[in-house]
Amino acid sequence: MNDCLPEQTYIWQFLEEKIKKVLDSYCYKEIRFPIVEKTALFTRSIGEVTDIVEKEMYTFEDRNGESLSLRPEGTAGCVRACIENGLLHNQQQKLWYKGQMFRYEKPQKGRYRQFNQIGIETYGIADADADAEVILLSADFWRTIGLTDVELQINSLGDEQSRAKYREVLVEYFRNSYELLDEDSKRRLEKNPLRILDSKNPEMADLVKNAPNLLEYLDEESERHFQRVQEYLNAAGISYVVNPRLVRGLDYYNRTVFEWVTTKLGAQGTVCAGGRYDGLVEQIGGRATPAVGFAIGVERIIALLEVCGVEISSKLPNVYIVSLGDKGQEQAFSVSSILRNEIDGITIMQNSGGGSFKSQFKKADKSGAGIALVIGEDEVEKGIVGLKYLREKREQETVSVSEIVSRMRELI
Ligand code: ATP
Ligand code: MG
């Protein structure tokens, strides 16, 4: 679990602000739900034979003996919140969330035990246009933050019957190469063979690559749906690769699944993953409601921004206030509060803890502020403020206190 220090937080804020703008532009609304849920919610939705439920959840008993877990992902809690609050019946919802998720993973680059996701979920739309919209929205994220090194992969898992048919063929295929399966895959063979396709073990790569093609077993309606998704993406000019071996690490998906992947982050190359999950709402106890969504791994996006050299600069203060003597320091409080009240968005760093003019100017320079306002005893007596430009060569000025607001408005 990582601390996010001040030298990093501005990058997170940059990302969150940009993404929020995209979400606003699509009229998605934010939903906030708890970090802790009953364990059963996750085992029922994510699936018993998944990495998450088998070995990654932070599970504990509360004082009442009830089993609770820190959320390992957002979708289950989002669905629960929507059902409980009556947001789904006969309605469409377009929602987003962000926050910490918890998984007991083997820590490595791009894999943490507390990590952050920003996710979206739509409810009540069975049509392929919802699948296309969420994919488009994710593409807009990358465009807005300046990321180009990501590739969209899509696939369709079909419906329950077609998946059952495929499952038989797949089990047969893996059974014929039983000795090549790793321990995890052997265990999954009976309970959840599709998950073997999602194996991260490089020794399994060849076997997975030659596995039967899921798309050849699609039912007609799923095929039409998948076709339609692709037509929408084509119309929007989004390029993609159909990857018939793309399945997800969670059990609740059907039909469209997709991932945005990069080759620039080593093994942990998936930065965004999602798909359709029409069965989940009913499975959790609501009325059947079609749904589609995705989650992006914020840590991985931030790592990718760095690797790709996308420059994000922190916001520097507009003004540093240098003050000397009791009267000067008092006046500094008065001037800074007038400026903050009058000029929306102004950022003022007021010198704290005294010090000589020289040491205060050193701090002013270091702060990166564009302007220093100087208030000594002399300035207080004359009712003026000294104004010094810190990053450009311009004459120092003096401004009367009564005009400081209008002068600063001109300057910043
Ligand atoms: P993976 O196959 O990488 O384990 P997953 O199938 O478990 O991913 P999801 O549950 O779909 O992933 O999560 C969506 C995204 O959240 C992932 O694509 C990834 O970017 C990010 N993510 C998942 N687990 C972690 C983690 N432990 N640390 C950091 N980011 C993560
Ligand atoms: Mg995982």
Whether 271 lines ligand 1, by a CB cut-off of 6 Å, is yes
| Both structure tokens of 140 | 């807009």
Q: Which atom of ligand 1 is nearest to the CA of 113?
A: 27
Q: Which CATH superfamily is domain 6-159+219-307 in?
A: Bira Bifunctional Protein; Domain 2 (3.30.930.10)
Average pLDDT over residues 17-33: 98
| pLDDT value at residue 131 | 98
Read off the pLDDT band of 199 (50, 70, 90): confident
Whether 18 lines ligand 1, by a CB cut-off of 6 Å, is no
Whether 103 lines ligand 1, by a CB cut-off of 6 Å, is yes
Average pLDDT over residues 176-190: 92
Average pLDDT over residues 392-405: 95
| pLDDT value at residue 255 | 95
Contacts 24+ apart (CB under 8 A), 56-63: 56/103, 56/104, 56/105, 57/102, 57/103, 57/104, 58/102, 58/103, 58/104
Residue with the smallest CA separation from ligand 1 atom 11 is: 273
| pLDDT value at residue 192 | 86
Whether 195 lines ligand 1, by a CB cut-off of 6 Å, is no
| Both structure tokens of 145 | 């933050």
Q: How far apart are the first and last CA of the chain?
A: 39
- The listed CATH number (3.40.50.800, 3.20.20.70, 3.30.300.180, 3.60.110.10) that belongs to domain 319-411: 3.40.50.800
Does residue 43 sit in helix, strand or coil?
A: helix
Whether 251 lines ligand 1, by a CB cut-off of 6 Å, is no
Q: Given this chain, do its domains 6-159+219-307 and 319-411 carry the same CATH topology?
A: no
Does residue 70 sit in helix, strand or coil?
A: strand
State percent of the chain over pLDDT 70: 100
Edge-to-edge strand list for the sheet holding 29-30: 29-30, 93-102, 114-123, 291-297, 270-276, 254-261, 151-156, 241-242
Burial environment of residue 270 by CB neighbours within 10 A (0 to 12, 13 to 18, 19 or more):
buried
- Ligand at minimal distance from the CA of 252 is 1
| pLDDT value at residue 47 | 86
241: Cβ contacts below 8 Å, ≥ 6 apart:
151, 152, 153, 154
Residue with the smallest CA separation from ligand 1 atom 30 is: 297
**Average pLDDT of the residues of the chain:** 95
Q: For residue 109, which of 300, 251, 326, 257 has the smallest C-alpha distance?
A: 300
pLDDT above 80 for 19:
yes
pLDDT, one tens digit per residue, over 79-89 is 999 999 999 98
Q: Which atom of ligand 1 is nearest to the CA of 117?
A: 16
Domain spans, the chain = 6-159+219-307, 319-411
Q: What is the DSSP string of 178-247?
A: GGG--HHHHHHHHH-GGGGGG---GGGHHHHHTSPPGGGG--HHHHHHHHHHHHHHHHTT---EE-TT--
Residue with the smallest CA separation from ligand 1 atom 26 is: 111
What is the spatial distance between Cα 275 and Cα 250, in angstroms, rounded to a whole number?
10
Whether 112 lines ligand 1, by a CB cut-off of 6 Å, is yes
| pLDDT value at residue 296 | 97
Whether 73 lines ligand 1, by a CB cut-off of 6 Å, is yes
| pLDDT value at residue 278 | 95
Contacts 24+ apart (CB under 8 A), 52-59: 52/103, 52/249, 52/250, 55/104, 56/103, 56/104, 56/105, 57/102, 57/103, 57/104, 58/102, 58/103, 58/104
The per-residue b/e assignment along 121-140, b for 16 or more CB within 10 angstroms, e otherwise, is: bbbbbeebebbbbbbbbbbb
Residue with the smallest CA separation from ligand 1 atom 4 is: 249
| pLDDT value at residue 198 | 86
Whether 99 lines ligand 1, by a CB cut-off of 6 Å, is no
Phi, psi at 366, each rounded to 5°: -65, -30
Helix (H) or strand (E) holding 162: helix 160-176
CB hemisphere CA count around 137 (13 angstroms): 32
Please choose from 117, 260, 304 the residue to mutate so as to test ligand 1's pocket, defined by most ligand atoms within 8 A of CB.
117
Q: Which atom of ligand 1 is nearest to the CA of 110?
A: 29
pLDDT, one tens digit per residue, over 320-348 is 999 999 999 999 999 999 999 999 999 99
Indicate the pTM of the whole model: 0.92
pLDDT above 80 for 251:
no
Residue with the smallest CA separation from ligand 1 atom 21 is: 297
Q: Ligand 1: distance of its center to the CA of 296 in Å? A: 8
What is the torsional sign of CA 47, 52, 56, 57? negative
User: Is the separation of the CB atoms in 146 and 301 below 8 Å?
Assistant: no
Read off the pLDDT band of 190 (50, 70, 90): confident
pLDDT, one tens digit per residue, over 94-121 is 999 999 999 999 989 999 999 999 999 9
